[in-house]
Amino acid sequence: MNLDFSDDQKLLQEEAKKFLTKEDALKINRAVMDSDKTYDQELWNKIVGLGWTGIRIPEEYQGLGLSHLELCVIAEELGRQVAPVPFSSSVYLFTETLIEFGSEEQKNSILPKLVTGDVIGTLAIAETNSAPSKDNISVALKDGKLSGTKIAVPDAEVATHAVVVAKNGDNVSLCVVDLNSDDVDITVQRNIDESRGYYSVSFNGANAEIIGDEESGWSNLEKIMDHAAVLFSFEQIGGAQASLDMANKYAKERYAFGRPIGSFQSMKHKLADMYVALTLAKSNSFYGAWALSSNAAELPTAAATARVSATKAFQLCSQENIQTHGGNGFTWEYDCHMFYKRSKVLSLNLGSLPSWREKLIKSLEQANIKL
Amino acid sequence: MDFNDTPQEAEFRAKCRAWLEVNAELKTKKTNSAKNMNIGNKSLLEAAAEWQKKKYDAGWAMIHWPKEFGGIGATPIERIIWAQEESKFNVPKGVYEIGLGMAGPVMMEYATDEQKERYLPPMAEGKEIWCQLFSEPSAGSDVAGLRSKAVQDGENWIVNGQKVWTSGAHFSDFGILVVRHDAGLEKHKGLTFFFVDMKSPGIEVKPIKQLTGGSSFNEVYFNDVVIPDSQRLGEIGDGWKVAITTLMNERLAVGDADGVDANEAFELAKKHDKDGEQLIDNNAVRESIADWYCEASGLKNTKLRTMSALSRGDTPGPEASITKIVSANKLQAIGNFGMDSSDMSGMLMDEKSDFIKFQMAWMGAAGLRIAGGTDEILKNIIAERVLGLPQEARADKGLAFKDIPSGS
């Protein structure tokens, strides 16, 4: 029985934690929030330098050739410090798509550049404020040209490439587009988290290359979403742990009515509830990590379980962290809001909590999995 | 990551399995319920005694105990493997757990060598049943507020008072007991710990009728019961320290709530009603079941993380402390859901129907949320022991026990 990370993986996690603490990623995040920027270039360059963008990329493409498990521990640390970098878009979404579905030629031309940082990728799905489905995609691919508009595309400004979910005749296909092309317009969209950038991206006949089987675009996308759900769940438990730690520290330091507020049962029970939610989420995320790294048949169920639990845990922990801090928690000055905002962005980016509960039930109906 | 046994664990599991297959009957889907223990015409007590003796003779009764008391010195992971395998078989439960789980460790730690030799093997063999006498009418969550009195009289102590919520007191041979020897001392300092022969003159056991209609607990009255000082465990005034040993064991023992879970809710929701409709098509139902599934999966994987640590020979983290809070509340919610699924007739009970398990879950869960530490106390424990938060300000600190306000 080994539902845990290896010593080497834990060491990598420790190194990641030290690095991000030394860089003071939280402070960098605040600086990004106070500026017009949506990411920090210097921190990103250092992360590329450490090889993190190539963790999962096979050695033949100059990557580190490691597993999803190494990516999970890095994700947890990035989440803990709400690092303002396009890591999730480029690594969990774009790189995963390339590794899973790219042709040999596509892999040869793009994967090495993801390792060096010359390519940064993202994934463009949403078009309207309804949940995307294979029947409501209208951005269209015709004769290798893409037209239409995607919204809420993460990191599109810093990204050089995007995988785009497109209607292709009667099919939905995934295709890769160079975002620097003149036929692509990118406009920043205001969003709730000032340390993340979301954009509307218009394609005006831009060249696009199909990735993966052109008839299987939607099911391929669902597979990538399952991968990303597990990886994001580690960012979420990292953020949830940081929120709980902040609340815990403050509850011990802050006095009211002549005693630390953490000595009141109402506060203890609040923090215990946060711990319970986080523990459930962590255990489910470990299970998701196992399913992802071993390519298990249970992956759709395990990914949805990790996603639902981690979303609930991070949202609960970040909102109750503000509550624990009282009025201070509502200020810009305290860090609580960074986690609150990030928790909501992370709860929406792959689809909402109700959408993932629905996915979970569907997977149970299909797979007939029992506990 | 993997879910495999190490080669040694696999070998041990195969040994457990081989013995169980010869000596017990594997559960099937039909017999897989807490109620069905395949005891035939025997009483539960007889059947449980027979099974315990069988295990003892073959060395499986208390495998983590040292050899001289009937164990094989098994490691924590081996103990879990044995429990996992045994739980797949249809064997009698509910008689020995408290004694072996709570009285056992205290006797092991505080009894004299002669006492251990005298009491531990029969306990493991199932010849003698033990119960735990802690809670009192005015001492529930605040166990240390207990009032049963022990007065020293030469080589003996004379005990008067009342205990409550004592599982199995009516069929137990011995009990572990904590009482107040000095009400002039502070609450936790005036307690002393004993073990007592349940057949002693002056002990009277009365069953408590629970809201379920059943009776698994008792009130136990002590009227001038004489306990020899040689049956004191720990020093005079160390009662709380000794009690904590068993309470910690209890909190580990009262774990997962038995009964309906996300799977059963899911199966129920898939049944068609008269109009051919299914509850599972209702979004609110889908959401609830998804959340219960996530909780159940979270508990299962938490357990596997604990096992992973034990398998490596490490001390597990505090993660298992969430188990009872989550599972008892989930059980209550699923019981509610089950009855709601029958709408206007959900209250009707039918012994022959499988549906009754939802009603029993709903009733039982109300007790489970209290037994072995209420939700509230368990949350305090997480807050104080895991998160390190300070204790609640108290109205009883520094006072002699007799001066503590009691509301009466």
Where exactly are the structural domains of chain B? 7-95, 130-252, 255-370
CATH 2.40.110.10 fits B130-252, yes or no: yes
Give residue B42's identity as a one-letter amino acid code: K
Q: Which of A5, A284, A357 sits opposite B298 (nearest CB)?
A: A284
Pairing of strands B156-167, A161-168: unpaired
Question: What digits encode the pLDDT tens for the residues A62-82?
Answer: 999 999 999 999 999 999 999
Question: What digits encode the pLDDT tens for the residues B60-94?
Answer: 999 999 998 989 999 989 999 999 999 999 999 88
Whether residue B393 lies within 8 A of chain A, CB to CB, comes out as yes
- Best CA proximity match to A60, nearest among A106, A108, A98, A97: A108
Give kind and range of the element (H or E) at residue B21: helix B7-23
Fold of A7-116: Butyryl-Coa Dehydrogenase, subunit A; domain 1 (1.10.540)
What are the chain B neighbours of A291 within 8 Å (beta carbons)?
none
Q: Do A2 and B1 touch (CB under 8 A)?
A: yes
Q: Do A271 and B389 touch (CB under 8 A)?
A: yes
Q: How far is B319 from chain A (nearest CA, A)?
A: 6
Q: Under 8 Å CB-to-CB from B348, ≥6 apart: which residues?
A: B342
Q: Is the pLDDT of residue B259 over 90?
A: no
Q: Do B383 and A281 touch (CB under 8 A)?
A: no
Q: Are A281 and A309 in contact (CB under 8 A)?
A: yes
Q: Is the pLDDT of residue B308 over 70?
A: yes
The pLDDT, as a whole number, for residue B255 is 62
Q: How far is B88 from chain A (nearest CA, A)?
A: 15
- Best CA proximity match to B401, nearest among B146, B142, B161: B146
Q: Do B392 and A263 touch (CB under 8 A)?
A: yes
Q: Do A272 and B287 touch (CB under 8 A)?
A: no
The pLDDT, as a whole number, for residue B382 is 94
Give residue A214's identity as a one-letter amino acid code: E
Q: Tokens at residue B21, please?
A: 């297959």
Number of other CB atoms surrounding residue A218 within 10 Å: 18
Return residues 41-80 of B near A (CB < 8 Å). Answer: 77
Cα–Cα dist B266/B259, whole Å: 14
The pLDDT, as a whole number, for residue B318 is 86
Q: Which of B298, B380, B390 sits opposite A309 (nearest CB)?
A: B298
| Coil/strand/helix, residue A221 | helix
Q: How many residues does chain B have?
A: 408
Angle at A287 between CA A283 and CA B307, to 5 degrees: 65
What are the chain B neighbours of A361 within 8 Å (beta carbons)?
280, 286, 289-290
Q: Do B291 and A308 touch (CB under 8 A)?
A: yes
Which of 1.20.140.10, 1.25.40.80, 1.10.3720.10, 3.50.50.60 would CATH assign to domain B255-370?
A: 1.20.140.10
Q: Mean pLDDT in chain A?
A: 97
Q: Which pTM does this prediction carry?
A: 0.95
Q: Is the pLDDT of residue A103 over 70?
A: yes
Whether residue A272 lies within 8 A of chain B, CB to CB, comes out as yes
Q: What secondary structure does DSSP assign to B300-340, as a single string?
A: HHHHHHHHHHHHHTPPP-GGGGGHHHHHHHHHHHHHHHHHH
Q: CA of A249: which chain B residue's CA is closest?
A: B389
The pLDDT, as a whole number, for residue B38 is 58
Return residues 249-288 of B near A (CB < 8 Å). Answer: 261-263, 266, 280, 283, 286-287
ipTM of the complex: 0.95
Question: What digits encode the pLDDT tens for the residues B360-408?
Answer: 999 999 999 998 889 999 999 999 999 999 998 889 989 999 999 988 7
The pLDDT, as a whole number, for residue B249 is 60
Pairing of strands A145-154, A184-189: unpaired
Query: What's the rounded mean pLDDT across residues B309-329?
Result: 90
Q: Is the pLDDT of residue B33 over 60?
A: no
The pLDDT, as a whole number, for residue B248 is 66
The pLDDT, as a whole number, for residue B251 is 52
Query: What's the rounded mean pLDDT across residues A136-160?
Result: 97
Q: Which of A233-242, A336-345, B151-160, B339-348 has the lowest mean pLDDT?
A: B339-348
Q: CA of A68: which chain B residue's CA is closest?
A: B1
Cα–Cα dist A282/A292, whole Å: 15
Q: Is the pLDDT of residue A295 over 50?
A: yes
The pLDDT, as a whole number, for residue A280 is 98
What are the Cα distances from residue B130, in Å, to A233, B39, B337?
46, 22, 38
Count of alpha carbons within 13 angstroms of residue A299, beta-carbon side: 19
Q: Tokens at residue A125, please?
A: 């799905």
Cα–Cα dist A189/A156, whole Å: 11
Query: What's the rounded mean pLDDT across residues A181-190?
Result: 97
The pLDDT, as a whole number, for residue B246 is 73
Q: Do B322 and A275 touch (CB under 8 A)?
A: yes
Q: Which of A153-162, B249-258, B302-311 has the lowest mean pLDDT?
A: B249-258
- Best CA proximity match to A339, nearest among A39, A29, A47, A17: A29
Label residue A138 exposed, middle or buried (CB < 10 Å: 0-12, 13-18, 19+): exposed
The pLDDT, as a whole number, for residue B407 is 85
Among A272-281, B42-51, B249-258, name the most confident range: A272-281
| pLDDT band at residue B29 under the 50/70/90 scheme | low
Residues A61, A63, A69, A74: is their CA dihedral positive or negative?
A: negative
Q: Is the pLDDT of residue B3 over 50?
A: yes
Whether residue B339 lies within 8 A of chain A, CB to CB, comes out as no
The pLDDT, as a whole number, for residue A181 is 96
Q: Do domains A121-214 and A218-367 have the same CATH topology?
A: no
Q: Do B376 and A286 touch (CB under 8 A)?
A: no
Query: What's the rounded mean pLDDT across residues A80-90?
Result: 97
| pLDDT band at residue B250 under the 50/70/90 scheme | low
Query: What's the rounded mean pLDDT across residues A251-277?
Result: 97
Residue range A121-214, CATH number:
2.40.110.10
Return residues 299-338 of A near B (CB < 8 Å). Answer: 305, 308-309, 312
Max alpha carbon distance in chain A (Å)? 73
Question: What digits encode the pLDDT tens for the residues B100-155?
Answer: 989 999 999 999 999 999 999 999 999 999 999 999 999 999 999 999 999 999 99
Whether residue B300 lies within 8 A of chain A, CB to CB, comes out as yes
Q: How far is B322 from chain A (nearest CA, A)?
A: 6
Return residues 331-350 of A near B (CB < 8 Å). Answer: none
| Coil/strand/helix, residue B266 | helix
Question: What digits encode the pLDDT tens for the residues A351-363?
Answer: 999 999 999 999 9
Residues B245, B247, B249, B251: is their CA dihedral positive or negative?
A: negative
| pLDDT band at residue A256 under the 50/70/90 scheme | very high
The rounded Cα A58 to chain-centroid distance in angstroms is 21
Q: How far is A175 from chain B (nearest CA, A)?
A: 33
Fold of A218-367: Butyryl-CoA Dehydrogenase, subunit A; domain 3 (1.20.140)
Q: Is the pLDDT of residue B34 over 70?
A: no
The pLDDT, as a whole number, for residue A367 is 79
Q: How far is B265 from chain A (nearest CA, A)?
A: 12
The pLDDT, as a whole number, for residue B39 is 66
What are the chain B neighbours of A365 within 8 Å (beta carbons)?
280
Q: CA of A306: which chain B residue's CA is closest?
A: B294
Question: What digits encode the pLDDT tens for the residues B184-226?
Answer: 999 999 999 999 999 999 999 999 999 999 888 999 999 999 9
Q: How far is B379 from chain A (nearest CA, A)?
A: 5
Q: Is the pLDDT of residue A48 over 80?
A: yes
What are the chain B neighbours of A294 within 8 Å (beta carbons)?
1-2
Question: What digits encode the pLDDT tens for the residues A20-36?
Answer: 999 999 999 999 999 99
What are the chain A neighbours of B298 within 8 Å (beta carbons)?
279-281, 283-284, 305, 309
The pLDDT, as a whole number, for residue A76 is 98
Q: Which of B307, B322, B390 sits opposite A260 (nearest CB)?
A: B390
Rounded (10°) CA dihedral B152, B158, B161, B163: 100
Number of other CB atoms surrounding residue B185 within 10 Å: 15
Domain boundaries, chain A: 7-116, 121-214, 218-367
Q: Mean pLDDT in chain B?
A: 92
Q: Which of A69, A252, A365 sits opposite B390 (nearest CB)?
A: A252
The pLDDT, as a whole number, for residue A368 is 66
Whether residue A22 lies within 8 A of chain B, CB to CB, comes out as no
Question: What digits encode the pLDDT tens for the residues A208-252?
Answer: 999 999 999 999 999 999 999 999 999 999 999 999 999 999 999
